[in-house]
């Protein structure tokens, strides 16, 4: 039985969510809280397996409550947002920064055409997050080990630079993607394509949140637009992000692959077909297997491939499958991924320039 604490400032919402969760035979609501302060006390006293957390609350908001819970009594926290406004949604990701492991839209009311779908998304997320590993956020973890050097032969066999970087992620991915983009310099010489699994309605806010800290511009991808070096493009809701010819984006209304749209598999497959070895692929934390086989295809084409290591992953599904397939040139924590990415791109660009001169 999964024990859940429901946190929201509105009594009607607390009652609504409690009713939906209690209707699942695997879930039991053990308490509710009306603000962040009550939530902190309830987590300490009741020891839930999962907390559903509102963001906007009086006395103490969900961001601050999440931060304190993750520093004192860490537990998987799922943000349940009732707003579709991109600016409001971007605030949700502050709680993700503080340690929340997932986020979903508040289920639609009875009679709404999306009611069943949104309820199932909430229940599926709560069940899945009950089993994830969370760690205390304070004191901060020790500095991560340095990244390994790039083998010289990996550079020598290339005659051109990295044309594109492709990133795929699911549960736990937003914070890692933020760290990667924040570390990239403005003159980063390759475009970055991103597929992040998330609930419908959150992607625009995700892009806005990323743009506030990114070292390069971040935007929602648009069909048939050119790729620009030093710019990140995020797959929009309901569309697969692909490249059909070098330097151009293609969006396709999804036929979901591996249960996901946008699909990491479709992105990686298209990059492998168009760019061959002149690409880098990165598979981050997340449930399932999406993208793992296609990361192997990229590796076999000569691309540099990386997957997040088990110790730093919230869920070691997608990168774990990549490890099983030997699809990743490197298995690394986020800071080491950043260092290898910057090094391999700069070294291949420099090598390509030497070859063409």
- Annotated catalytic residues are 170, 197, 290
Tokens of 194: 């991103």
Q: What's the CA gap between 197 and 275, in Å, rounded?
A: 24
Q: What's the CA gap between 103 and 313, in Å, rounded?
A: 17
Phi-psi region of 261 (alpha: psi -120 to 50; beta: other; left: phi over 0): beta
Phi, psi for 57 (deg, rounded to 5): -145, 155
With beta carbons less than 8 A apart as the criterion, state whether 166 and 271 touch: yes
Phi, psi for 234 (deg, rounded to 5): -105, 135
Residue 242 neighbours by CB under 8 Å, 6+ apart: 249, 250, 251, 252, 266, 267, 269, 270
With beta carbons less than 8 A apart as the criterion, state whether 204 and 234 touch: no
Tokens of 302: 């000569």
Query: Is the previous residue joined to 301 through a cis bond, with omega within 30 degrees of 0?
Result: no
């Amino acid at each position: 039985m999964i024990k859940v604490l429901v946190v929201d400032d509105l009594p009607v919402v607390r009652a609504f969510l409690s009713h939906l969760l209690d209707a699942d035979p695997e879930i039991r609501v053990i308490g509710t809280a009306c603000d962040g302060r009550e939530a902190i006390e309830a987590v300490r006293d009741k020891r839930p397996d999962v907390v559903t957390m509102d963001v906007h609350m009086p006395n103490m908001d969900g961001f601050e409550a999440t931060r304190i819970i993750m520093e004192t009594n860490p537990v998987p926290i799922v943000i349940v947002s009732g707003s579709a406004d991109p600016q409001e949604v971007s605030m949700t990701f502050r709680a993700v920064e503080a340690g929340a492991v997932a986020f979903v839209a508040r289920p639609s009311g009875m009679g709404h055409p999306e009611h069943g779908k949104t309820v199932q998304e909430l229940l599926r997320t709560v069940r899945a997050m009950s089993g994830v590993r969370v760690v205390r956020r304070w004191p901060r973890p020790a500095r991560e080990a340095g990244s390994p050097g790039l083998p010289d032969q990996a550079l020598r066999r290339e005659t051109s630079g990295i044309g594109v970087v492709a990133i795929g992620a699911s549960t736990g991915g937003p914070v890692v993607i933020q760290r990667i983009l924040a570390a990239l310099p403005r003159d980063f010489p390759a475009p970055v394509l991103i597929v992040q699994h998330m609930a419908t309605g959150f992607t625009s806010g995700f892009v806005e949140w990323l743009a506030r800290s990114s070292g390069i511009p971040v935007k929602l991808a648009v069909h048939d637009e050119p790729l620009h070096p030093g710019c990140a493009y995020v797959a929009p809701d309901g569309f697969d992000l692909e490249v059909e010819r070098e330097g151009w984006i293609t969006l396709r209304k999804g036929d979901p692959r591996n249960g996901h749209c946008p699909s990491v598999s479709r992105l990686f497959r298209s990059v492998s077909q168009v760019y061959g070895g002149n690409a880098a692929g990165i598979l981050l934390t997340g449930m399932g297997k999406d993208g793992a086989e296609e990361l192997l295809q990229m590796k076999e084409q000569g691309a540099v491939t990386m997957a997040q290591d088990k110790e730093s992953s919230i869920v070691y599904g997608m990168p774990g499958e990549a490890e099983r397939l030997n699809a990743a040139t490197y298995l690394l924590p986020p800071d080491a991924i950043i260092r290898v990415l910057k090094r391999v791109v700069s070294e291949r660009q420099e090598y390509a320039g030497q070859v063409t001169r």
